[in-house]
Amino acid sequence: MNRFVIAEPKLCIGCYTCEAACVDVHQEVGLQAHPRLVVTQTAQGTMPVQCRHCEDAPCAKVCPVGAITEADGMIQLNESTCIGCKMCALACPFGAIEPHGSSPLSQQMPYEPYVESAGAIIGEPLAPSAISAPLSSLLDWSAGVRTVAVKCDLCYFREDGPKCIQVCPTKALRIVDSESLSASISAKRRQTVAKTSQVLSGASAAENE
């Protein structure tokens, strides 16, 4: 079974730490600097939404260039082969895939991205900082990034697993794999037996009265 990360809306306080961490770790390894989970605040509740790594993934089915594949118990998206056709984003029933890269010229941006003006001050490099692995932090954050689909990759490149789970201060995020899923299913089955027998024995007791 494919593993996936899911949030518990009762615990999520909408603090966005998971989103920030997601951008950070992906940027560090040279992947798209864009959050793969999106904290979504509604009147009904708040939680980050991310890929469910479906067993029969519709995104993989519609990808014309085979950039999305199932391997190692997850749905992987190869950012290098992706042509940015956005079909996967249409197909995903959860809104877990988002195209990301340069914005089209026609998009109205009355506010210059802050870093642009910083970069424009004089052409000296930004202070070295461990978070910018790519060559130029200017390219990294604003113009010039090829638009591709981005989605949760379970931080496959990190030994300690998804970073979002680690940083969430309320531990609202957890990984669901076949073990934890079957444990929860069998626990619920036991509860069902207990509840059913309670109901039935209650009913028979009433009958006997």
Euclidean distance between CA atoms 132 and 11, whole angstroms: 32
Residue 170 touches ligand SF4, criterion: CB under 6 A? yes
Nearest approach in angstroms of CB 206 to ligand SF4 is 46
Among 33, 34, 39, 148, binds ligand SF4 (CB under 6 A): 39
Task: Provide CB contacts within 8 A for 170, sequence distance 6+.
Answer: 11, 12, 13
> Any contact of residue 20 with other proteins (CB under 8 A)?
yes
33 binds other proteins (CB under 8 A): yes
Contact indicator for 198, 190 with CB cutoff of 8 Å: no
Closest CB to other proteins among 108 and 208? 108
Q: Is 171 exposed, middle or buried (0-12, 13-18, 19+ CB in 10 A)?
A: exposed
- The DSSP H or E segment spanning 161 is none
Name beta bridge partners: 42: 45
Restricting to residues 130-149, name those near other proteins by CB under 8 A: 130-131, 137, 140-141
* H or E element in which residue 182 lies: helix 178-208
User: Taking CB under 6 A as the rule, does residue 97 contact ligand SF4?
Assistant: no
Binding of residue 17 to ligand SF4 (CB under 6 A) = yes
In whole angstroms, the minimum distance from the beta carbon of 70 to ligand SF4 comes to: 16
Which positions from 65 to 104 touch other proteins by CB under 8 A, shown as an x/- string?
Answer: ----------------------------------------
d(CA 55, CA 72) in angstroms, rounded, equals 12
